[in-house]
């Protein structure tokens, strides 16, 4: 029985899933306590809104899907980079660049929506390539470069937009023109989903992004390219030893990661319902991709669900206004992410404990058996085995 449970806990997928679910539950409980603290009489009402508002009407659910789409892409962007051993904290800058390229293609060049989306990917890819090249050639930490490129991207886009009068709205000059007014073909098609859901927010973007997630899953898990990328991410030295061009892979990984974030920018601003606003702070969508990726432990298919979840409770957060500030949701999300990281740690600890026992057992069997080691006694996976098996207790 114990071994069954142990095996289940240690199958990587189950463990990640359990960790995420556990942290979501605790996060929500924490959220409820917070609500009770702010306004005790309305706390149950607030929690109800968080939990159920997103599914209360098809219109609300359309909003969930609408917000989930770009979130899914920035999540994929961060997650893909994570899988290959890179921390792309620059999804925001790539997202901004993607938005700009998409809007330029749509408004100025009058391109159809799919060309504008390709342009968005190009913009994001270019912005991702810089940190990638710096990392590959000069070993500059990608976190630092991509943070810098968030700001460079934001202000470069602001500056450029300010100098292209045609792209800006005539009434309020700090935002881009309404897409529906200048180039309807650049808007992401709705395929009748808007009437189905009864919401003008609804279009096919969620289908595009889910397809992107599945594509990423296939690339990472089924192709030699994914094999190489993950090998680089797990152990760069071993991948070099195997003759894999690690530098090329770093750049490609950042380019793909950037393209995904860029596509997110395109998806959001080509919906027709959003207008790009010239602001002085970095767009949160890029950063929200980090929790989305973390919650799904960077699994592309998991990211589909984690982005839907985050979007769902965000919609719930908006619905519990004015009784509560919608920022409460940000706190709850933060708590969940915090716990997600923490429960992964716990999972790691459990694994350590179990594998450590097994290693000890291994050692003893290994010493006695006439052949090398004794793997049969060692049924599972763990984080600490390798280190443990090489060093001894006393030196610890």
Partner 1 sequence: MSDYVVEMLNITKIFPGIKANDDITLQLKKGEVHALLGENGAGKSTLMSVLFGLYQPEEGTIKINGEPVKINNPNDANALNIGMVHQHFMLVEVFSVLDNIILGVEPNTAGVLNRKIARDKIVALSKRYGLSVEPDALVEDISVGMQQRVEILKMLYKNNEILIFDEPTAVLTPQEIKELMQIMKGLTAEGKSILFITHKLNEIIEVADRCTVLRKGKYVGTVNVADTTREELSRMMVGRDIQFKIDKAECKPGKVVFTAENITVASKHHKNNAVRNISFDVRAGEIVCLAGIEGNGQSELVYALTGIEKISSGKLALNGTDISRSSIRQRSRLGISHIPEDRHKYGLVLEYSLANNLVLQRYWEPEFQNAGFINNAKVLEYANKLIKQYDVRSGQGANTIVRSMSGGNQQKAIIAREIDKNPELLIAIQPTRGLDVGAIEYIHSQLIAQRDTGKAVLLVSLELDEVMNVSDRILVMFEGEIVGEFNPRETTVEQIGLYMAGAKRDTPSTGTGTIEKTKKQEMGVKSKP
Site residues for partner 1, 201-230, by CB under 8 A, read 222-225, 227, 230
Binding range to partner 1, per CB under 8 A, among 50-58, 127-135, 172-180, 355-363? 355-363
For residue 343, give the nearest of 23, 5, 4 by alpha carbon.
23
Candidate list 84, 92, 199, 239; residue touching partner 1; CB under 8 A: 239
Binding range to partner 1, per CB under 8 A, among 23-31, 123-131, 200-208, 239-247? 239-247
Contact flag: residue 15 with partner 1 (CB under 8 A): no
Contact flag: residue 302 with partner 1 (CB under 8 A): no
State the minimum distance, in angstroms, from the CB of residue 289 to partner 1: 23
State the minimum distance, in angstroms, from the CB of residue 223 to partner 1: 5
Cβ atoms of residues 96 and 283 within 8 Å: yes
Contact flag: residue 158 with partner 1 (CB under 8 A): no
Candidate list 243, 280, 281, 322; residue touching partner 1; CB under 8 A: 243
For residue 31, give the nearest of 301, 336, 240 by alpha carbon.
336
Only one residue has tokens 């219109």, namely 59
Binding range to partner 1, per CB under 8 A, among 47-55, 128-136, 177-185, 387-395? 387-395
State the minimum distance, in angstroms, from the CB of residue 234 to partner 1: 5
Contact flag: residue 367 with partner 1 (CB under 8 A): yes
Cβ atoms of residues 10 and 354 within 8 Å: yes
Contact flag: residue 375 with partner 1 (CB under 8 A): yes
Task: Give the DSSP per-residue string, 260-325.
Answer: HHHHHHHHHHTSSS---B--SS--HHHHHHHHHHHHTTT-HHHHHHHHHHHHHHHHHHHHTTTTS-
State the minimum distance, in angstroms, from the CB of residue 65 to partner 1: 31
Burial class (CB in 10 A: 0-12, 13-18, 19+), 114: middle
Name the residue nearer to partner 1 (CB basis): 189 or 348.
Answer: 348
Query: Which backbone phi and psi does 175 adopt, to 5 degrees?
Result: -140, 165
Residue ranges of alpha helices (H) inside 84-204 are 91-103, 113-138, 142-162, 179-182, 193-197
Name the residue nearer to partner 1 (CB basis): 24 or 246.
Answer: 246
CA–CA distances in Å: residue 232 to residues 61, 141, 236: 39, 16, 4
Contact flag: residue 248 with partner 1 (CB under 8 A): no
- The distance in angstroms from the start CA to the end CA of the chain is 32
Name the residue nearer to partner 1 (CB basis): 1 or 394.
Answer: 394
Name the residue nearer to partner 1 (CB basis): 227 or 342.
Answer: 227
Only one residue has tokens 């990472």, namely 220
Structure tokens at 211: 């397809």
d(CA 208, CA 116): 14
State the minimum distance, in angstroms, from the CB of residue 294 to partner 1: 18
Contact flag: residue 237 with partner 1 (CB under 8 A): yes
State the minimum distance, in angstroms, from the CB of residue 209 to partner 1: 23
State the minimum distance, in angstroms, from the CB of residue 367 to partner 1: 4
Contact flag: residue 364 with partner 1 (CB under 8 A): yes
Contact flag: residue 114 with partner 1 (CB under 8 A): no
* DSSP one-letter code for 174: T
How many residues touch partner 1 (CB under 8 A)? 57
Q: What is the largest CA-CA distance in the chain?
A: 84
Contact flag: residue 172 with partner 1 (CB under 8 A): no
Contact flag: residue 56 with partner 1 (CB under 8 A): no
Binding range to partner 1, per CB under 8 A, among 124-132, 143-151, 276-284, 365-373? 365-373
Q: Give the contacts of 1 (CB within 8 A, at least 6 positions apart).
A: none
166 three-state secondary structure:
helix
Name the residue nearer to partner 1 (CB basis): 338 or 365.
Answer: 365
Q: What residues make contact with partner 1 under the rule CB under 8 A?
A: 222-225, 227, 230-231, 234-235, 237-244, 355-383, 385-387, 389-396
């Amino acid at each position: 029985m114990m071994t069954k449970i142990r095996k289940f806990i240690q199958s990587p997928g189950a463990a990640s899933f359990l960790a995420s679910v556990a942290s979501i539950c605790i996060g929500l409980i924490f959220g409820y306590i917070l609500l009770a603290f702010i306004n005790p009489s309305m706390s149950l009402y607030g929690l109800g809104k968080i939990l159920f508002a997103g599914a209360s009407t098809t219109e609300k659910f359309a909003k969930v899907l609408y917000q989930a789409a770009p979130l899914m892409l920035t999540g994929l962007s961060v997650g893909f980079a994570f899988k290959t051993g890179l921390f792309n904290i620059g999804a925001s800058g790539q997202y901004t660049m993607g938005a700009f390229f998409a809007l330029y293609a749509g408004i100025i060049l009058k391109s159809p929506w799919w060309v504008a989306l390709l342009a968005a990917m190009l913009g994001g890819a270019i912005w991702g390539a810089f940190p990638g090249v710096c990392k590959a050639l000069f070993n500059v930490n990608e976190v630092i470069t991509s943070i810098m490129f968030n700001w460079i991207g934001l202000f470069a886009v602001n500056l450029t937009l300010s100098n292209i009068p045609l792209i800006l709205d005539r009434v309020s000059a700090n935002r881009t023109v309404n897409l529906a007014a200048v180039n309807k073909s650049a808007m992401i098609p709705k395929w009748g989903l808007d009437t189905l859901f009864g919401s003008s927010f609804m279009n096919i973007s969620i289908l595009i992004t889910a397809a992107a997630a599945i594509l990423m899953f296939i690339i990472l898990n089924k192709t030699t390219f994914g094999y190489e990328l993950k090998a680089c991410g797990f152990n760069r030295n071993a991948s070099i030893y195997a003759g894999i061009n690690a530098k090329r892979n770093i750049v490609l990984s950042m380019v793909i990661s950037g393209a995904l974030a860029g596509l997110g920018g395109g998806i959001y601003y080509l919906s027709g319902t959003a207008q790009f606003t010239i602001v002085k702070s970095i767009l949160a969508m890029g950063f929200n991709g980090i929790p989305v990726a973390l919650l799904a432990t960077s699994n592309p298919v998991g990211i589909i669900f984690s982005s839907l979840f985050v979007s769902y409770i965000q919609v719930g957060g908006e619905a519990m206004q004015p009784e509560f500030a919608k920022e409460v949701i940000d706190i709850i999300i933060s708590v969940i992410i915090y716990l997600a990281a923490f429960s992964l740690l716990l999972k790691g600890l459990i694994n350590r404990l179990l594998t450590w026992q097994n290693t000890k057992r291994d050692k003893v069997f290994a010493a006695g058996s006439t052949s090398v080691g004794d793997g049969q006694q060692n049924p599972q996976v763990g984080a600490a085995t390798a280190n443990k098996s090489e060093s001894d207790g006393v030196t610890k």
